[in-house]
Amino acid sequence: MDANSNNVAEMLERPEYYGEIRAKSATSADLYIYGDIVSRRPWYFSNESAEKSDAQWPSKVRDLLAEIKDVTQLNIYINSGGGVCFAGMAIYNMLSRHKAYKTVYVDGLAASMASIIALVGDKVVIPANAWMMIHQPWTICWGNAGDIEKEIAALRSIEEGMLAVYMAKANHGVTKDEIFKMMEAETWLTGEEAAKYFNVETTSASNAAAWLESEHYGQYKNAPKEFTEKAAKPAPPAQPPSPKLATAKDRLNLKLAIGGKRK
């Protein structure tokens, strides 16, 4: 196994990579959903990609929920920069179908599709120093006019689904148009600000509100500097040559030193 494989193997052993159920009992369980939302389990081929944020995907959450199908109290802890729309909605729907009373805690950030997942809670708690971000879905596409029109129609459909979730948790008096304009503007809300629009509880600043790396911070146009500054990391130092390359180089130098010729 090469060095890259060793690093990947070590990462896969981290409990937060697969998600984690803690404090499981006959009646309750704690479910942690940290990391970017992706469609399927990723496979990392290099050290650089392996060092990116952890990920959550629907089949993983499905398997975790199967382990705790009989609990009546489900505590869900979220810290995520968002991700794939269909994957996020699938996770939301699976959690919604679970019979338990669900309490969601936003530990640091619930952005984009993670904000949808967060609102699955019968009770949602966002500390004053945590964040929630809502925006319109977006995509990358190419093709002719008909292809582009189909993508626009698909985005509008996804947008309506997201709006339905937001409005189901909106405070009395908050209008659909108001939430839509917030989505258009890519709106970042602290816990206290989120409570003005959604049926969520805010608490004092929590030590649990922690930084989590995400691929998406650089793509968001209004991300607070708390996220963009931390995301701007220096390039990793150059890796030394592999033992096999060093050995080949040594052999070449030795051959030249004793009068050999390059071929």
For the residues of 161-227, what is the DSSP string, one character each?
A: HHHHHHHHTBPTT--HHHHHHHHHHTEEEEHHHHHHHBS-EEES--TT------SSGGG-SS--HHH
Question: Which amino acid is it at 247?
Answer: T
| CB half-sphere exposure, 233, CA atoms < 13 A | 13
Catalytic residue among 135, 206, 214, 216: 135
112 is catalytic: yes
At 71 the three-state DSSP class reads coil
- Number of helices and strands (H, E) in the chain? 11, 10
Catalytic residue among 112, 115, 206, 214: 112
53 is catalytic: no
- 176's tokens: 């659909």
- 31's tokens: 């479910």
Read off φ and ψ for residue 212, nearest 5 degrees. Answer: -140, 130
Question: Which residues are the active-site residues?
Answer: 112, 135
